[in-house]
Amino acid sequence: MTKYLMATKNEGKVRELRQLLADTDIEIISLNDLSDHEEVEETGLSFAENAVLKAEHCYRKYGVPSIADDSGICIRYLLDMPGVFSARFLPHLDYPQKNALILSLMEGITERKASYECVIAFASEEGTKTFHGSCEGEIAFAAAGENGFGYDPIFYYPRSGMTLAEMDPEEKNKISHRGEALRKLVASFE
């Protein structure tokens, strides 16, 4: 069995990758399985730079091929903010508060286009590869749904007629930015 490290403590992300790799001989471990893990500071100015920083750091430190992602929401009206700073946007607020603030900033605005972007980096002895995924949608007029996390309650996906937080997790994984990037990563293993 081949072992890869997913450079995250987010068990939802780990579970998603494990599901995609269920029929392979690849075992995914995460930072939660290690006693000496440390957060890598995201100093990059793009999703790709941050993903590569994390994947390469973990590969160097643990000697295990490593997978890392960076992702976020880009809101056109807000000049694609919070973008690469999505996880660090207003760190003193929790996500329901961040979502409420974004909705208040968007009040009365008709241009509501947004996208979720994700870059996954895979670092191994063969070098580092990146895989991009994107999900196009809009900012909802009100938060809705209990599934998902982060900005999902305000990210409306027009083709389904609901926010990502209203979708069944399997349905969301089929269309999500991270799901797309993960499928490209998994295809590269074949």
Between strands 113-124 and 66-75, the pairing is: antiparallel
pLDDT digit string (tens) for 117-157? 999 999 999 999 999 999 999 999 999 999 878 999 999 99
Domains in the chain, ordered, with CATH?
2-189 (3.90.950.10)
What average pLDDT does this structure show over 50-58?
96
Residue 114 has pLDDT above 90, yes or no: yes
Per-residue pLDDT at 108:
96
What confidence category does residue 74 fall into, taking pLDDT thresholds of 50, 70 and 90?
very high
Per-residue pLDDT at 134:
98
Average pLDDT taken over every residue of the chain: 93
Counting beta carbons within 10 angstroms of the beta carbon of residue 158, is it exposed (0 to 12), middle (13 to 18) or buried (19 or more)? exposed
3-class SS shares of the chain: helix, strand, coil, % to 5: 40, 25, 35
Per-residue pLDDT at 18:
86
User: d(Cα 184, Cα 163) in Å, to the nearest integer?
Assistant: 24
What average pLDDT does this structure show over 85-96?
92
What confidence category does residue 52 fall into, taking pLDDT thresholds of 50, 70 and 90?
very high
Q: Are 63 and 181 in contact, with CB atoms under 8 Å apart?
A: no
Per-residue pLDDT at 11:
81
Catalytic positions: 70
The model's pTM: 0.91
